[in-house]
């Protein structure tokens, strides 16, 4: 299946990477590096500096994969959650971690090395929406670029598809052709709604965001609402 139709959204990883690199300061990098109970902070921090300088770690070592994944799970709206910060600071740290993980996973040298992309994607989308301003647009371009990656399998591609549709609703840029392309991508492996969320640790977040934007938003279309209802039904069945 060709995803050339997504080119109208100017797919690129660079814009979102520039945003997160510009907003995550040294104190945030130290906090991310210390996420694994303060173990191997110097080693993690060295690799985080390399990433912020523009290097794609491929293959990515345990340092900093472990701490990036730990911050990926963070919940900035929950003051009791650890590791990770709260509010905008926490969202920038989480957006940084999710973006770096998905960018690294798209590199052939890291193929098969990452897990939990279904959760990483929705954590990225949630932070991008909450931070607002330029982040949803940059996230859309990034996820469209990921969607076109040759290393991506159909199973992960369906999560990118629904995430892209969510961001199109947020930006009020839904169109029938793109929606049908994304729906076809979701149907491509004949996965049932329940199976989509069988092993997803962040299915509750998927449900809340899908309900809010694909079903209840005034920007949503009939096709988009139907797509959202399918995903919400799948989350409820697991």
Tell me how many domains the chain contains.
1
What are the pLDDT digits (tens) for 129-153?
Answer: 999 989 999 999 999 999 998 877 7
Residue-level pLDDT at 193? 61
Is pLDDT larger for residue 236 or for residue 177? 177
> Distances from the Cα of 23 to the Cαs of 50, 90, 96, in angstroms?
16, 11, 9
Residue-level pLDDT at 164? 97
Q: Which residues contact 98 (CB under 8 A, 6 or more apart)?
A: 72, 120, 121, 123, 124, 127
Q: Which residues contact 170 (CB under 8 A, 6 or more apart)?
A: 129, 136, 213, 217, 219
Q: 78-113 burial by CB neighbour count: b if 16+ within 10 A, else e?
A: eeeeebbbeeebbbbbbbbbbbbbbbbbbbeebeee
Is pLDDT larger for residue 1 or for residue 78? 78
Give the pair of three-digit tokens for residue 204: 């509750």
**Host domain of residue 76:** 4-237
Query: How would residue 230 be classed by pLDDT, with cut points 50, 70 and 90?
Result: confident
- Is the pTM of the predicted complex or chain greater than 0.85? yes
pLDDT at 192 over 80: no
pLDDT at 234 over 70: no
Q: Rg (Cα) of the chain, in Å, rounded? A: 17
CA-based nearest residue to 20, from 146, 127, 113: 127
**Secondary structure in 3-state letters for 24-47:** CCHHHHHHHHCCCCCCCHHHHHHH
């Amino acid at each position: 299946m060709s995803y050339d139709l997504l080119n109208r959204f100017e797919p690129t990883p660079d814009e979102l990477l520039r945003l997160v690199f510009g907003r995550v300061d040294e104190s945030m990098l130290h906090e991310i590096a210390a996420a694994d109970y303060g173990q191997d902070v110097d080693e993690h921090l060295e690799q985080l500096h390399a990433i912020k300088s523009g290097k794609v770690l491929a293959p990515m070592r345990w340092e900093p994969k472990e701490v990036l994944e730990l911050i990926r799970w963070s919940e900035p709206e929950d003051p009791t959650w650890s590791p990770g910060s709260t509010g905008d600071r926490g969202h920038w740290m989480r957006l940084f971690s999710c973006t770096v993980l998905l960018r690294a996973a798209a590199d052939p040298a890291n193929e098969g090395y990452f897990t939990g992309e279904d959760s990483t994607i929705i954590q990225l989308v949630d932070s991008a929406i909450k931070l607002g301003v330029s982040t949803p647009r940059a996230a859309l371009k990034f996820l469209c670029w990921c969607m076109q990656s040759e290393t991506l399998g159909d199973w992960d591609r369906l999560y990118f598809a629904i995430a892209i549709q969510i961001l199109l609703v947020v930006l009020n840029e839904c169109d029938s052709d793109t929606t049908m392309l994304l729906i076809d991508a979701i149907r491509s492996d004949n996965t049932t709604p329940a199976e989509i969320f069988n092993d997803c640790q962040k299915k509750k977040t998927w449900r809340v965001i899908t309900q809010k934007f694909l079903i209840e938003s005034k920007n949503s279309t009939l096709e988009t609402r139907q797509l959202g209802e399918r995903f919400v039904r799948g989350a409820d069945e697991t």
